[in-house]
Amino acid sequence: MYCEVIIEYATAKEIDRLFTYSIPPELLDRVSIGDRVKVSFGQSKKIYIAYVINITNQKPSFKLKPILEIIDETPILDNKQIDLANFLVNHYGASYAASLNAILPPSLKAKAINQSKIEKIVVFDEINHEKFKVLNKEQEHVYNQIKQKEYKSYLIDGITGSGKTEIFLHVMRDVINRGETVIILVPEIALTSQTLSRFKERFGNRVALTHSRIGIAERQRLYIKAKQGKIQIIIGPRSAVFTPLENLGLIIVDEEHDASYKSFEAMPKYNAKEVALYRMKNNGLVILASATPSFEVYYQAKTNQIGYLQLTKRTGDAKPPTIDLVDMRKELEEGNTQVISRKLHDNIKQVLSQGQQVMLLINRRGYSTFISCRKCGFVIKCKNCDVSMTYHLIKKTLECHHCLAVESIPKVCPSCGSSYIKFFGNGTQKVEEYLNSHFMEYGIGRMDLDTTSGKEGHSKILQSFRQRETNILVGTQMISKGHDFENVTLVGIISADTSLFLQDFRANERTFQLLTQTLGRAGRGKLNGNVIIQTYNPEHEVLQLVKNYQQQDFYKNELTLRQIMGYPPFGNIFGVLITGEIEDEVIKSAHLLKEYYIHYNKNSQFRIIGPVSAIISKISNRYRWKITIIGTERNKLLTYGKYCIDKCSENKEVIG
């Protein structure tokens, strides 16, 4: 017998494939698929860890090395996980080693995982049936549809506060009662302590939590516990989709539109929603839910690939908030140069005096986001990146939000020497300063990357808001996500324009989602809510559709546009980023690569765009150019996209 293995940390392409080893007699009846083993590899004496992917009796013609040792008592991977790794390799073009790494717990050492350390837990907590709410008519309908299982997966398109979470809880109870297990994906665990407590309240210690801030040892323990069938419900961010639960019956993806479900940075670059659907392809159920579904999922639902379920009303008496647009051009004309319009100011004042609370969204942190010379127009940019520096009030420094460089504020213009340096562009600190000078006595909380760095960062700020020590909460998009404060009756959006003019085909979608999610924070309780959106473009179509709650029209218009352009969900995009320290070389490489794309573009089935300078053309001293390729068939596009890069880099090394 022989076994085929994948070597761990096989970063180079040449060794990211199956290698055959012989099985020495003493290990013959112990080795099985999914085992971790030790092997020697190549000429060096170094010992590597490898994973047994296959066992075969076909002897290759060349001489084989034996496997040296089996590491764990039981296989660390099962067949389903190996199949999942194959999916990651084929679907995302990831390496085998990276795919297995995503599935396995982090930082496994070359010694056996100590399984005896895992305390024997038994479920002693009963399901707390009393806490379950009686579903209203709309909820009941959705719940029944899901139960009938006409589809394998469903989109619940339900406005904020319509009771989606309550439906999850009911479906979960059924799944648990059948002896099956559940994975719940949430966008940002730090922001969802509230959701978590609702799950704990119903299911007690059957619920486990995983996130990036818990330690490595704990994550390894969770992995083993899951495999041993000792976890019934796990809640976590996108990586939790790999949790090897036994008898998995349901995966819920809450706020499915959230960008965090796609991993862009590290390999494998995967989409947790697709992984969820793949894991449940044979049996089991996937529920995707959002008040602002992503276009991909919405389109799947509308074309009957998955079930479409809608919730149109808020629970109880809560009504959707009224929405006003404030034209900031007029505001300026009439002499108000402040960051807050008069209308928003008056509303804040009134709401606070009635003992209610306010949330304000400004999607930029810092104080001023743009510093330039009045005399010559020179803009102070980062030395390493092609972005303007942001002024931070408290530290009195200029910071780059891309490479995190810090500089002091120049006294005179570095270009012309004039002392007329002016600060433009508003960030969270500017708004906070305004609020402090007008509403200090009510207590003001600020939530952005600068205030939430510590472990307890988020929860402290949210806690004081909940306990009404603070009554205004200003923050970046962090405040738009999922919070349920019933005393918030006013939501202000300081600038709706920030994301509207991004050079990205998703700019409209992002703006629509951010605004709709944020305004969903107002009036969730018994009190009616009001939303004020400040903008320099009140006539913009997206803002008008948000204002009039024409969600279906927005999706229809946007889908038509995407179809014309061949953008997702109608086509697929393959992006190549070419980076390097010497701009000329980057540009040359980009053009060279394009020639390969043109050459191999048979029947012109792919649309090649670029090369163009990326939106941020330099980060950390590396210039950035990009080529975008659009094609209908995903697999063909992936193969073509990668093939040309390989061909090109065989001749030239510069491509990064």
Can you give the binding site for Zn ion, defined by CB under 5 A?
Answer: 373, 375-376, 378, 382, 384-385, 400, 402-403, 405, 413, 415-416, 418
Q: Which two tokens stand for residue 24?
A: 């020495």
Q: Are 568 and 296 in contact (CB under 8 A)?
A: yes
Q: Which stretch binds ligand ADP (CB under 6 A): 50-58, 114-122, 160-168, 565-573?
A: 160-168
Give Cβ neighbours of residue 90 (< 8 Å, ≥ 6 apart): none
Q: Is residue 268 a contact point for ligand ADP (CB under 6 A)?
A: no
Q: Where are the beta strands (DSSP E) in 439-541?
A: 444-447, 472-475, 488-493, 530-535
Binding ligand ADP (rule: CB under 6 A), the pick from 75, 105, 161, 187 is 161
Cα separation, 348 vs 491, in Å, equals 9
Q: In sequence order, what are the beta bridge partners of 618?
A: 623
Q: Which two tokens stand for residue 519?
A: 């305004």
Q: Which stretch binds ligand ADP (CB under 6 A): 39-47, 123-131, 163-171, 342-350?
A: 163-171
Among Zn ion, ligand ADP, none, the one that 405 touches (CB under a kind-dependent 5 to 8 A) is Zn ion
Phi and psi (nearest 5°) for 653? Answer: -95, -15
C-beta of 226: minimal distance to Zn ion in Å?
Answer: 41
Give the position of tokens 């999914």.
Answer: 34
Closer residue to Zn ion in complex, CB, 47/376: 376
Cα separation, 504 vs 566, in Å, equals 14
> Mask of contacts with ligand ADP, 108-147, x by CB under 6 A?
-------------------------xxxx--x--------
C-beta of 160: minimal distance to ligand ADP in Å?
Answer: 5
Closer residue to Zn ion in complex, CB, 402/468: 402
Q: Is residue 583 a contact point for ligand ADP (CB under 6 A)?
A: no
C-beta of 333: minimal distance to ligand ADP in Å?
Answer: 39
Closer residue to ligand ADP in complex, CB, 251/380: 251
Among Zn ion, ligand ADP, none, the one that 136 touches (CB under a kind-dependent 5 to 8 A) is ligand ADP
Closer residue to ligand ADP in complex, CB, 145/315: 315
Q: Is residue 162 a contact point for ligand ADP (CB under 6 A)?
A: yes
Q: Which two tokens stand for residue 628?
A: 């975008």
Count of residues in contact with ligand ADP, rule CB under 6 A: 16
Q: Is residue 517 a contact point for ligand ADP (CB under 6 A)?
A: no
Q: Binding to ligand ADP (CB under 6 A): which residues in 478-507? A: 484
Count of residues for the chain? 656
Among Zn ion, ligand ADP, none, the one that 163 touches (CB under a kind-dependent 5 to 8 A) is ligand ADP
Q: Are 418 and 374 in contact (CB under 8 A)?
A: yes
Give the position of tokens 């020495």.
Answer: 24
Spacing of C-alpha 491 from chain mean position: 24
Q: Is residue 397 a contact point for ligand ADP (CB under 6 A)?
A: no
Q: Tell me if residue 39 falls in helix, strand or coil.
A: strand
State how far the alpha carbon of 607 is from the alpha carbons of 7, 566, 571, 578, in Å.
37, 9, 10, 18
- Whole-number CA gyration radius for the chain: 27
CA angle 378, 379, 380 (to 5 degrees): 120
Binding ligand ADP (rule: CB under 6 A), the pick from 99, 101, 160, 451 is 160
Give Cβ neighbours of residue 19 (< 8 Å, ≥ 6 apart): 4, 5, 6, 7, 39, 41, 50
Closer residue to Zn ion in complex, CB, 358/413: 413
Give the position of tokens 């994975």.
Answer: 183
Closer residue to Zn ion in complex, CB, 47/416: 416
Q: Which two tokens stand for residue 574?
A: 């393959």
Closer residue to Zn ion in complex, CB, 413/576: 413
C-beta of 506: minimal distance to ligand ADP in Å?
Answer: 23
Contacting positions for ligand ADP (CB under 6 A):
133-136, 139, 158, 160-166, 315-316, 484
